[in-house]
Amino acid sequence: MGPFISPFSNLLCMLLGISFTLWVTLLLVFIIVPAIFGLSFGIRGLYMKTLLKVFKVSWKIILFHFRMVLIYLCFFVLHLFTGYYSIIAKEPTSLEDELKEIRRNGSSRELDEFEMSDTFYFCRRGIESIVDDEVTKCFSAEELESWNLLTRSNYNFQHISTRLTVLWGFGVIIRYGFLLPLRLTLAITGISLLVVFTTIIGLLPNGRLKNFLSETVHLMCYRICVRALTAIITYHHSENKPKNGGICVANHTSPIDVIILASDGCYAMVGQIHGGLMGLIQRSMVKACPHIWFERLEVKDRHLVAKRLSDHVKDKSKLPILIFPEGTCINNTSVMMFKKGSFEIGSTVYPVAIKYDPRFGDAFWNSSKFGMVNYLLRMMSSWAIVCSVWYLPPMSRQEDEDAVQFANRVKGAIARQGGLVDLLWDGGLKRGKVKDAFKEEQQKIYSKILVGTQADRSRS
């Protein structure tokens, strides 16, 4: 047996060596080197077009196995319950008019005192708010018009026909057998280079050379990480890109928003200090670039945070600050309330709108459902991350504006450009309860109607 085992072992070692060489060559020539110089061979664009054709074929198979009427009926009902069409048709009427309508068939039409029938209005509005909840819809996966061959977007379609099952199974092999190992390798490479190079650059004295090397390394590593997600990004209006001494604010869908923006320009990051691997990355990054990391107790001190941000933007040689004022991730359909802290500083604000294409993968991070590692694995096992980024013209706070009004104006501009729904709700409702002030506001409105009606009757 010995003479036969030795040639077989040599052949196996030779095949492994060739495979490893091809793998490293693929990474260096087609991914890492182009990422370092910001180049692209157009492979990702061709990959995206191919996926769209495959999705079209899969959808035709689905339609072939279902009657068209049944399909449209099912999707109509589905859209009703996912918010594409409002379940409840609500006309913009005032509280006073609706109460009069309720009392029309009752014993009294006047609103000078409380009547038990008034409770029907508040019960109905409460049920409407539960059924057509704007906040809850912001923290669930975005609805797809067609299936993207991912079981996470639908758990039944792959069993409709044999052809579709084979197509779905082939996709699983590609995503987990080829794309996932490739992406993990790129992610480890990008993060390792970032930690090593920023640590070395941190040993250099402050000056132009250190700043240049820091920006070059950050861009290079972020672009490698973008390739690790097979991210296909389209940047619009690059003439409005944030400049030093300013504040860049953007809507927030995912932690990868940072990579998406930082692969096109350098920013000073603002965030809370973490432990573990994330903490190691933060400590190495801050050695090469003036990022702003806060301790947990400092984050709660709004004045301390505002002072550190203000000191940073006063130095026009420092990179623009990147902030996500929503404070939490929203599901790529809406923009929720912006915290006013970053709008009180008085610096120029550069709004940025980010919109992901959910057909290739759901970029939304539901942190209450998935941990960071689980989420990143889901991203790396998706088909791709496709998004558009719009750099909006810079905005400044007007003389007659307070911080809240300025924040709402910026938020409205981002929502319009990204085709997102502009909501006034606080993203903190994702984990917290509605503030008592909102409940008391409705009580005050009702009380004023009763008191006002009584005053009018007494004057007459």
Q: Which helix (H) or strand (E) holds 247?
A: strand 247-250
Question: Is a pLDDT exceeding 80 seen at residue 253?
Answer: yes
Range of weakest confidence among 16-20, 74-78, 264-268, 414-418:
74-78
Structure-model confidence comparison of residues 114 and 240, the more confident one: 240
What average pLDDT is seen over the chain? 75
Residue 446 has pLDDT above 90, yes or no: no
Per-residue pLDDT band for 69 (boundaries 50, 70, 90) equals very low
The whole-angstrom separation of Cα 387 and Cα 235 is 9
Task: Return d(Cα 310, Cα 105) in angstroms, integer.
Answer: 61
Better-predicted residue by pLDDT, 387 or 61: 387
List, for residues 366-386, the tens digit of each pLDDT value. Answer: 877 777 788 888 888 888 899
**Percent share of the chain, pLDDT over 70:** 62
Please report which confidence band the pLDDT of residue 5 belongs to, taking 50, 70 and 90 as the band edges.
low
The fraction of the chain above a pLDDT of 90, given in percent, is 10
Give the pairing type, strands 334-335 and 385-391. Answer: unpaired
- Classify residue 289 by burial, with Cβ atoms within 10 Å: 0-12, 13-18, 19+: buried
**DSSP codes, 309-362:** HHHHHH-TTSPPEEE-TT-S---SSEE-PPPSGGGSS---EEEEEEEE-TTT--
Does residue 294 or residue 88 have the better pLDDT?
Answer: 294
Q: Is the separation of the CB atoms in 349 and 394 below 8 Å?
A: yes
Q: Cα(48)–Cα(361) distance, rounded to whole angstroms?
A: 12
How many CB atoms lie under 10 A from the CB of residue 84?
14
Measure the CA–CA gap between 27 and 223, rounded to whole angstroms: 13
Structure tokens at 453: 């009606």
Query: Which is more confident, 352 or 110?
Result: 352
Q: What is the mean pLDDT of residues 229-256?
A: 90
**pLDDT winner (highest mean) among 42-46, 69-73, 106-110:** 42-46
Cα separation of 287 and 194, whole Å?
11
Q: Which residues contact 172 (CB under 8 A, 6 or more apart)?
A: none
Per-residue model confidence (pLDDT) at position 139? 60
Token code pair at residue 376? 């990143």
Q: Residue 86: what pLDDT?
A: 43
Cβ burial, residue 160 (10 Å; 0-12/13-18/19+): middle
Q: How confident is the model at residue 249 (pLDDT cuts 50, 70, 90)?
A: very high
Report how far residue 335's alpha carbon sits from residue 357's, in angstroms, rounded to the nearest whole number. 16
Least confident of 231-240, 335-344, 425-434: 425-434
**Residue 286, pLDDT score:** 82
Query: For residue 333, what pLDDT is reported?
Result: 86
Q: Look at residue 437 in the predicted model and tell me its pLDDT.
A: 64
**For 170-180, how does the pLDDT look when each residue is reduced to its tens digit (9 = 90+)?**
888 988 988 89
Lowest mean pLDDT among 6-10, 249-253, 281-285, 385-389: 6-10
The pLDDT score that the predictor gives to residue 415 is 92
Rg of the chain taking only CA atoms, in angstroms: 28
Reported as a single tens digit per residue, the pLDDT across 333-353 is 888 888 887 788 878 899 999
Please state the rounded mean pLDDT for residues 329-334: 86
- 164, pLDDT greater than 70: yes
**Listed residue (315, 349, 343) closest to 405, CA to CA:** 343
What is the predicted pLDDT for the residue at 207?
A: 84
pLDDT at 449: 64
Question: Where are the chain's structural domains?
Answer: 157-425, 434-460
What's the DSSP call for residue 234? E
pLDDT of the residue at 306: 75
pLDDT at 1 over 50: no
